[in-house]
């Protein structure tokens, strides 16, 4: 048994959301569980992405978390590659490239991101809704149980479902937090206990409640009302974009019965509507609520097989292909988007190519001038060196001018790990008989010169000469 929605007016969808009643009240969507080839592939993709989401913060590469987005401390690691504050411009370019990639993908193949890769869709359809089906049964059983009021059976099932929802939402919030503060910090906070870090625990509980509310109650409204991607989708999709499309040429005129004379292939069974997570009728054409999850394709293909008709009445194609039996995907708009995307790819690739393997910053140590030692006059400098490569090295500093100057490290490890940043101080000492106001040094890693610096050198006023 399945829940069937009666479509009173095929044009009403343009002025009314499928999940909202005519009087403005929320219409709860009781989506039936899909089955079919595309749903199996969606499950595979969802499992891979969920495993990546959960595991990534706990995998470390060269001492760095595989994925880290620490906004407060400006620490970012993408796929094991750290981006330091001085790399922020490069990170912005990568983000811009991702945005343009999504725009190009949407203009070409529609909202495939929403239906197959968006965390909201994956968690709702593959985790929370499956738990709901397991605990409360199929949509028809849910509707029947709700129509009987608050029975003991309904209350017990509701407690079990919402308890699991809350636990999973809390787990998701913790995983998200590990992306922001690092998994090591999160595990340390857990070991310390909740009351030791209230500034973190309180926002964590609030976000857990938000995740719970989204998946337990708000659901498809997040895609339809909140998500900006669904809003600007209409400006990216046109008649030549590949989308989940109902073949009106084959399907109309709709009708039931074995005698198909004068009727199209659509038997008006509404199975495509009952599996839709946003409650729309795809036969009305592309709509704001459609996330291209392809559940309707599997449902329709199943009906076509049972009625011994060709599959593909609802399929992944374009409106142009349905009407004119041809598809022109390489439009001027796609060419323009692709050109912009290629330029950005080239710029990002070039910036990575010219990126220096080591970033070096040398400054005078604050609050000091010169020091007299047994070996001469000394100045103290602060050094910060960032290793952007996957290979560790040994840091060496040698003086070029004057040749009698010496360098001594102070509290700084000369070994620099892969993708690591090292900070410390060093002293440059010049013998008393040498008079200079500058020193030239070379910074070497594994014997290879990485930077040549001319540093100001302060001496007693009586002995300073140019």
Domains of the chain with bracketed CATH? 17-226 (no CATH), 358-463 (2.60.40.10)
Helix (H) or strand (E) holding 300: helix 295-306
Euclidean distance between CA atoms 384 and 51, whole angstroms: 37
Q: What is the pLDDT along the chain (466 residues), one digit of tens a residue?
A: 444 444 445 555 666 777 777 777 888 899 999 999 999 999 999 999 999 999 999 999 888 899 999 988 888 999 988 888 888 889 899 999 999 999 999 999 888 899 999 999 999 999 999 999 999 999 999 999 999 999 999 999 999 999 999 999 999 999 999 999 999 999 999 999 888 888 899 999 999 999 999 999 999 999 888 888 877 776 788 888 899 999 999 998 888 888 878 899 999 999 999 999 999 999 988 888 889 999 999 999 999 999 999 999 999 999 889 988 888 878 888 999 999 999 999 999 999 888 888 888 899 998 888 899 988 999 999 999 988 888 888 999 988 888 888 999 988 888 888 888 888 999 999 988 887 788 999 989 888 888 888 999 988 876 544 4
Residue recorded with tokens 């074995």: 258
**Cβ contact 320:327 at 8 Å:** yes
Tokens of 159: 């407690």
346 three-class SS:
helix
* Residue from 262, 260, 278, 280 nearest 270 by CA: 280
Dihedral (Cα; 35, 39, 41, 47), 10-degree rounding = -110
Tokens of 304: 């076509």
* pTM as predicted: 0.83
**Cβ contact 15:288 at 8 Å:** no
**Strand 243-246 relative to strand 376-387, pairing:** unpaired
Peptide bond preceding 253 in cis form (omega within 30 of 0): yes
């Amino acid at each position: 048994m399945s829940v069937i929605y009666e479509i009173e007016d095929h044009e009403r969808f343009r002025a009314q959301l499928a999940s909202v009643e005519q009087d403005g009240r929320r219409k709860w969507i009781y989506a039936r569980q899909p089955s079919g080839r595309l749903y199996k592939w969606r499950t595979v993709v969802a499992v891979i992405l969920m495993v990546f989401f959960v595991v990534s913060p706990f995998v470390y590469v060269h001492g760095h978390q595989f994925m880290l987005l620490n906004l407060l401390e400006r620490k970012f690691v993408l796929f094991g590659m750290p981006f330091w504050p001085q790399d922020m411009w490069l990170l912005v370019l990568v983000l811009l490239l991702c945005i343009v990639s999504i725009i190009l993908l949407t203009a070409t193949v529609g909202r495939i991101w929403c239906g197959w890769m968006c965390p909201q869709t994956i968690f709702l359809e593959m985790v929370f809704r499956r738990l709901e089906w397991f605990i409360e049964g199929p949509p028809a059983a849910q509707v029947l149980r709700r129509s009987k009021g608050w029975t003991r059976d309904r209350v017990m099932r509701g407690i079990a479902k919402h308890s699991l929802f809350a636990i999973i939402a809390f787990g998701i919030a913790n995983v998200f937090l590990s992306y922001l503060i690092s998994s090591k910090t999160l595990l340390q906070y857990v070991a310390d206990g909740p009351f030791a870090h209230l500034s973190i625990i309180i926002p964590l509980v609030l976000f857990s409640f938000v995740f719970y509310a989204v998946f337990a109650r708000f659901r498809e409204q997040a895609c339809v009302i909140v998500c900006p991607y669904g809003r600007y989708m209409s400006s990216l999709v046109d008649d030549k974009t590949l989308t989940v499309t109902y073949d009106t040429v084959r399907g109309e005129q709709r009708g039931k019965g074995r005698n198909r004379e004068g009727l199209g292939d659509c038997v008006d069974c509404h199975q495509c509507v009952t599996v839709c997570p946003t409650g729309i009728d795809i036969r009305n054409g592309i709509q704001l609520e459609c996330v291209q999850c392809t559940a309707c394709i599997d449902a329709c293909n199943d009906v076509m097989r049972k009625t011994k008709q060709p599959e593909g009445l609802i399929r992944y194609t374009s409106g142009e292909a349905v009407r004119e039996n041809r598809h022109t995907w390489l439009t001027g708009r796609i060419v323009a988007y692709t050109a912009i995307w290629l330029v950005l790819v080239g710029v990002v690739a070039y910036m990575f190519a010219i990126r220096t393997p080591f970033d070096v910053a040398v400054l005078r140590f604050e609050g000091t001038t010169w020091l007299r030692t047994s070996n001469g006059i000394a100045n103290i400098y602060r050094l910060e060196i960032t290793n952007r490569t996957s290979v560790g090295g040994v840091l060496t500093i040698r003086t070029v001018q004057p040749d009698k100057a010496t360098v001594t490290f102070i509290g700084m490890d000369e070994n620099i790990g892969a993708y690591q940043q090292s900070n410390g101080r060093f002293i440059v000492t010049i013998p008393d008989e040498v008079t200079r106001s500058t020193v030239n040094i070379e910074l070497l890693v594994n014997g290879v010169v990485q930077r040549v610096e001319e540093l100001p050198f302060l001496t007693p006023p009586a002995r300073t000469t140019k």
